[in-house]
Chain A
């Protein structure tokens, strides 16, 4: 079986790769979002901390 045949999935390629592709994409987006959220939260806490020290 060649790679072209493998990706064609006997005519179901669009449906199969559409399923797995979008799943992979949304999972990667979610991972990026939770990591971004952690970064932002820590930044805000540091700013709060810095502002508190000045007082």
Chain B
């Protein structure tokens, strides 16, 4: 079957495709958030050690996982843009950065509110927490660097270098609980199995999926605006129905 994948790497075709895809991600995301929260609060039992406080896990873990994944995807797109000089991949990297920063912030915020009742401290300079804070700064640095360069193609290249170099931080966050003695607990879900109650797992994975779909929907809307801005002098933009109106 011959599918022309490169067809959708052109901003003009991707713009329309992205617009059609948004509702298919946004509505399932909203639905899964509701299901995940219902299972997390009404089906999943209390934790033996942490009582009710553990319920922060259903947002803390998905937000943390995504803050790292989004960074790798952003760096991947940035690298593609740098190597092949494709316009769309650089725009995708720019579109992902604010959402990634937001999830890093949610991860730190919910972590602080979980740390206080469990450890007795909002914040500790522990390996896991500090490396996640650096991740937030990397996102903010990427956004600020791109915003400070007027020429979009140069901004893409400078941002791409920062994103690629900064990606070394992601494995550091992930392995920090193994490499150093930290206050942060290790992973409960391992490749070898888990001690977690089935309803807790269901709630956490439903929330993770909901967050994924949310990220895709929001980034697609954002990248469409970026495409319009950057391609504003092209014929196809001026011929769009929403512009002609």
Chain A contact residues, CB within 8 Å of chain B: 6, 9-12, 15-16, 18-20, 22-23, 26-27, 30-31, 34-35, 37-38, 41-42, 45-46, 48-49, 52
Contacts and interface: CB of A to CB of B under 8 A. Distances in A.
B218 A37 contact: no
Contact of B245 (A10, A41, A46, A52): A46
A6 B37 CA distance: 14
A27 B109 CA distance: 13
B71 interface: no
A19 B52 contact: no
Contacts of B232: 45, 48
B99 A30 contact: yes
15 contacts: A10-B46, A15-B53, A15-B113, A15-B114, A15-B116, A19-B59, A19-B110, A20-B37, A22-B106, A22-B109, A34-B225, A38-B224, A42-B243, A45-B237, A49-B243
B227 to A, nearest CB: 9
A34 B223 CA distance: 10
Interface residues of B, number: 37
Contacts of B244: 49
Contact of A12 (B51, B63, B106, B218): B51
Contacts of B140: none
A12 B117 contact: yes
B97 to A, nearest CB: 12
Interface in B11-68: 37, 41, 46, 51-53, 55-56, 59-60, 63
B63 A23 contact: yes
Q: Is the interface of A mostly helix, strand, loop or mixed?
A: helix
Contacts of B245: 46
Nearest to A31: B218
A19 B56 contact: yes
Contacts of A15: 53, 56, 113-114, 116-117
Contacts of A30: 98-99, 102, 218
B136 interface: no
Interface in B88-130: 98-99, 102, 105-106, 109-110, 113-114, 116-117
Given A23-B106, A48-B232, A9 B52 contact: yes
Contacts of A16: 52-53, 55-56, 113
Contacts of A49: 238, 243-244
Nearest to B109: A22
B242 interface: yes
A41 B229 contact: yes
B63 to A, nearest CB: 7
Nearest to B211: A27
B153 interface: no
